[in-house]
Amino acid sequence: MKWGIISTGTIAHNFAKTVGAMGGETEVYAVASRSQESAQAFADQYGIKKAYATYKELVEDDNVDIIYVATPHNLHYENMMLCLEHGKNILCEKSFTVTAEQAQKIYDLAKEKNLFVMEGFWTKYLPIYREVEKLIEEGVIGDIHMVTAQYGYCTAGARTLRKFDPALAGGTLLDIGVYAIGFAAMMLGYQPKSIQSLVKLNDVGTDEFSTIVMQYENGAIAQLTTAIQTTIPVLGCVYGSKGYINIPEFKNPDKIQVVLNDGTGYTIEKEVEINGYEYEIREAEQCLSEKRQYSEILTPDQSIAVMSMMDEVRSIWNMKFPFEK
C-alpha cells in the first residue's frame, strides 16, 4: 500500500521510520512539505519516490492510496478536507481536530464520499490493551470504581513556543491531555455524566497544567492530570472492587501489573514489534483492504466524543483559540 505524508516534522519522521522497518508491500511513496527543499530532504532520508512542495500536489497523485496527516492540530481540519475533496483516504494524527464540530464534518464528508478516515491515537491500537480489555470483561478486578492517569514533560526553546502557541491550537490538552482522556474513555466509556476541571493558563492564554475529573452514570470517576513544563511520571491505573491494574507508561505501555485484593498479583508483558506506530498502520491498511470506511477499534463516534469532552473542558476554562469563530 502506498502512503503519502503531509508534513515533515518529528512525528512524520517517526512514521516514516516505522514504515521502513515494516517491510512488505507497505511503503511511503510520497511526502509533501511547505517547500521543495524540505520535502526532498525528507524523501532522500527515507528513500521516498516523490517529494512535493505543496499538499495539493500530493493529494492529486493518483498513486497514493492513503495519506498520513502529521501537521499541527490547527491544520488537521483543512488538511483532511483537502484530502477528502481529492478522494484520498486518511490516517490523521491526534488530536484529530480542534473541535468536535470539525471532527463531525470530516466524518460526514468521508461517509458521503465513501472514503476511509481514522484517528491516529496510537495508544488504542497497542496489543497490550487487548489484554486489559480482556481482564476487565472477565471481571478480574471486579466493577471499576476509578481510573487515574497522569503525564507531564518539560521542553525548551522554540519547541516550547510551538507547543503553547494559540495560533497552532497549542496547550497541554490537545497535545497530551488527549492521551489521558482517551485512556479514561477506553476504560469507562465515551459518555461521562459530568466533567469538572481546574487549570493553570500561561501568559499567552493556553493551558500549561490541568486536572480533569469525569464522573459516569454508574458512579465511576476518572481523575486525570497532564502538564507541559512540569515533569510528571507517566502512569495510568484502573481500580476495581477486586483489585487494580497498574499501567506504567499508559500512552505506550509494554506491560501491565495486576494486583488483587487478596495480595496476589502478576505481570503481563507484550512488547511492541517496532515502536508502536505499526499497529495503527496495519489497522488502517486492513480496513482499506476490507473496503471499510472506519476502524472498529477507534470509531468515528469515539473520536468525536473525545473531541466533545475536550470542548467541554475548554468551555469550563473559558479558553478559545484566536482562529475559532
Q: What is the pLDDT of residue 109?
A: 98
Please identify, among 78, 102, 121, the residue that sits at the C-terminal boundary of a domain. Answer: 121
Residues 66 and 89: beta-carbon distance below 8 Å: yes
| pLDDT at residue 70 is higher than 70 | yes
Domain that holds residue 22: 2-121
Residues 42 and 31: beta-carbon distance below 8 Å: yes
Look at residue 74 and tell me if it is in a domain.
Answer: yes
Please identify, among 64, 89, 121, the residue that sits at the C-terminal boundary of a domain. Answer: 121
Q: What is the pLDDT of residue 22?
A: 95
Q: What is the pLDDT of residue 325?
A: 59
- For residues 108 and 47, membership in a common domain is answered with yes
pLDDT in tens, 279-296: 999 999 999 999 999 999
- For residues 117 and 182, membership in a common domain is answered with no
- For residues 111 and 157, membership in a common domain is answered with no
- For residues 6 and 117, membership in a common domain is answered with yes
Tally of structural domains, the chain: 2
- For residues 112 and 131, membership in a common domain is answered with no
Query: In which order are the strands placed within the sheet that holds 265-269?
Result: 194-201, 207-215, 221-228, 144-153, 232-240, 243-248, 255-260, 265-269
Q: How confident is the model at residue 97 (pLDDT cuts 50, 70, 90)?
A: very high
- For residues 45 and 97, membership in a common domain is answered with yes
Please identify, among 245, 271, 297, the residue that sits at the C-terminal boundary of a domain. Answer: 271
Q: In the predicted model, what is the mean pLDDT of the chain?
A: 97
3-state secondary structure of 61: coil
| pLDDT at residue 67 is higher than 70 | yes
Assign residue 81 the CATH number of its domain: 3.40.50.720
Q: What is the pLDDT of residue 23?
A: 87
Look at residue 79 and tell me if it is in a domain.
Answer: yes
